[in-house]
Chain A
Amino acid sequence: MSQASAITPEIEIPSIPVTQLAPWAAFVFLTAAIVLFFISADQGVVSIPSGTAIHEWVHDGRHLLGFPCH
């Protein structure tokens, strides 16, 4: 392995520091969680807003993506 890396010198792979990643991760994970909530579970157990319009709109996707729908 050391021979192979000597023949084709691999530049060191620098990892991205956690402090640099954290704000991106916080924003994206929160946004993704909100999006996934509306697609996967809204107007099933909890309804924000009340009604069935969102449930019905994403109905087929919810079934085919594998979330419990109704």
Chain B
Amino acid sequence: MTPRTFLVRGLLAGLLAGFFSFAVAYTVGEPQVDAAIAVEEAGAAPAHSDQPASDGHSHSHADSGEDSGTQVSRGTQSTWGLATGIFAVSIAIGGVVGLVSAFAVGRLGRLRPGQSTAVVALLGFVAVWLVPFLKYPATPPAVGNGDTIGDRTLYFFSIQAISVLAMIGAVLLARRLLAGHGAYRAVLVSGAAFLAVTIVAGLLLPTVNEIGDFPGDTLWYFRRASLLTNATMWAAIGVILTGLVGKVHEHESAVAARRDLAASL
């Protein structure tokens, strides 16, 4: 197994995961984006609609596609635009998960390559996406004040960086504890350490609430759709890459076993 083995399969898993994730985002997510834009245009969320142009942002509708200042129509945003975002992120994450999995092989206790790859994908989802989402959940169009985008971007990437570093630390701690205390205690203690760090960070970082009178049901449906979109992406990457890596390992084991047998004759 070489880095190339993992990178090629990671990128492929990311590409395939993009199709699944896009399917979920388009069918489950887009109706909620449209619903949120409808709320915005009805003027029910004054935080945003007071100044539709001054924040350099506007949502055009297919019906009124020639709004001044809007270059991309809603129809394009919800299809090619959405696909661009989903596939680019999915392939990038697939490549990164692939290389981190390459590093993890043989370094996570006695886990076989397929198993350590599955662990990387699962922990990656928790650290990279789930923890930041629990602190700063995705917001639909119409929620969010354009003036605070700087702070909110800083907060989001701060909790993400803390979460990823805490996860790396937790895995290193588990590795250190494994020899003397066994897998159960090692995972328990390092899991608790990860939770402690991320919870404290979550409590210290400021709360963002710019929801105003945006309807709660649409907000929840949108956030559920966001969760499903990202969970689908990470799950597909994890499942596909685990399968591909497991297959390579099986093949290499069989070749090695045959070589050993031949040598013993």
A60 touches B89 (CB 8 A): no
Q: How large is the interface on B (under 10, 10 to 19, 20 to 34, 35 or more residues)?
A: 35 or more
- A5's nearest neighbour on chain B, judged by CB, is B110
Total CB contacts across the A-B interface at under 8 A: 167
CB distance from A29 to the nearest CB of B (A): 7
Q: How large is the interface on A (under 10, 10 to 19, 20 to 34, 35 or more residues)?
A: 35 or more
CB distance from B168 to the nearest CB of A (A): 14
Which of B4, B7, B33, B105 is A63 in contact with, Cβ under 8 Å? B33
Please report which residues of chain B, range 86-111, place their CB below 8 angstroms from some CB of chain A when the two chains form the complex: 86, 88-89, 91-93, 95-96, 98-99, 102-103, 105-107, 110
Which of B173-181, B198-206, B222-230 contacts the other chain?
B222-230
Please report which residues of chain A, range 46-64, place their CB below 8 angstroms from some CB of chain B when the two chains form the complex: 52-53, 55-64
In the assembled complex, A32 has its CB within 8 A of some CB on chain B: yes
Given A28-B7, A69-B144, A70-B149: A61 and B138 interface contact (C-beta under 8 Å): no
CB distance from A62 to the nearest CB of B (A): 6
Proximity bits, B123-154, A CB within 8 Å = 1, else 0: 00000010011001111110010100110111
Cα distance, A61 to B4, chains bound together (Å): 29
Residues on A close to B: CB < 8 A? 10-11, 13-16, 18, 20-21, 24-25, 28-29, 31-32, 35-36, 38-41, 43-45, 52-53, 55-70
Contacts A/B (CB < 8 Å), 23 sampled: A10-B112, A11-B257, A16-B3, A18-B103, A21-B99, A28-B98, A39-B85, A41-B157, A45-B154, A55-B56, A60-B25, A60-B78, A61-B81, A61-B89, A63-B139, A63-B141, A64-B33, A64-B85, A64-B229, A66-B132, A66-B133, A68-B156, A70-B149
